Structure 1
C-alpha cells in the first residue's frame, strides 16, 4: 500500500527534524570533546537524550510513511511539544527568534500534516 502524499510530506518533516536533532547532538559532542562542558555528566546526558529524540523522530517518520497510526500519534505529540517549546522561548529575554521560528514553524507544519494525514487515511477509498 502506497502512503498518500500528505503522509509522505509529514514523514519528510519528521525525518528533517530527526536529522536536525542528530546535527545538534554532534555539535554538543564536539563541544564536549573541546572541553566546553562545565558539568560533563550533564552534557553526556543531554547528548544521549538528544540522540534518543532523534531516533524517535526518524522512527516516527518511517512509521508515518508506512501508514502506522502509532507513528502519527508519536509525531503529533512531539510536534505539540515543539510548538510549546517555541512559545516558551518567547518568554526568554532577549527573544531568540531563530530558535522560535526554527522550532515553531516545523512544529506547526508537521502537526498540520500529521492530522491531515490521519484524516485522509481514515476516509474510505473509492475504487475505480
Structure 2
C-alpha cells in the first residue's frame, strides 16, 4: 500500500506541475483576465506541487506527517471535485478526473497508515 500511496501522490504532483507550467505559458502569452489573479494562482499551484511532492517523499521514507498531509490534500481535492459539479459551469468529467484519483490515493494512504501501525517497532 505504501508504494501505491507514494506513486499516486507523485503522479498528482507531476500533474499539478504540468498545470503550473501551463499557467506560466498562459501568463507569458498574456492569455489572462487579471494579472494579480494569475500570479496568485501560479504561486498557489507551486506551493501545492511542492507540498504533494514533499508528502510523497515523506510517505516513501515512512514519515507519518506525509500520510497526514496527503490525506488532507485528498480531502481538499475531493472538495474541488464536488464544486466542479455545482453551478452553471458544472462539468462531470472534470469532477470525475479529480475525485477518482483523490479517492484512490486516500484509500492507499489509509492502507499504508494501517500497515505502518502493524509494523514491529524497534
If the length of structure 2 is used for normalisation, what is the TM-score?
Answer: 0.93
Q: Gaps spanning 5+ residues in structure 1: where?
A: 1-5
The C-alpha deviation readout for 1:70-103, integer Å capped at 9, x for no partner, is 0000000000111121112111334312211111
1:83 maps onto 2:78 in alignment: yes
Cα distance in 2 between the residues matched to 1:20 and 1:124: 32
| Counterparts of residues 112-123 of structure 1 (less than 5 Å) | 112-123=107-118
Q: How many residues align?
A: 120
Q: Gaps spanning 5+ residues in structure 2: where?
A: none
What's 2:100 paired with?
105
Q: 1:74 aligns with which of 56, 62, 69?
A: 69
Cα distance in 2 between the residues matched to 1:114 and 1:41: 35
Query: CA RMSD for the aligned pairs?
Result: 1.1
If the length of structure 1 is used for normalisation, what is the TM-score?
Answer: 0.89
Q: 2:39 aligns with which of 25, 33, 44?
A: 44
What's 1:56 paired with?
51
Cα distance in 2 between the residues matched to 1:124 and 1:49: 36
Question: 4+ residue stretches of structure 1 with deviation over 3 A?
Answer: none
Cα distance in 1 between the residues matched to 2:86 and 2:119: 44
SS at match of 1:85: helix
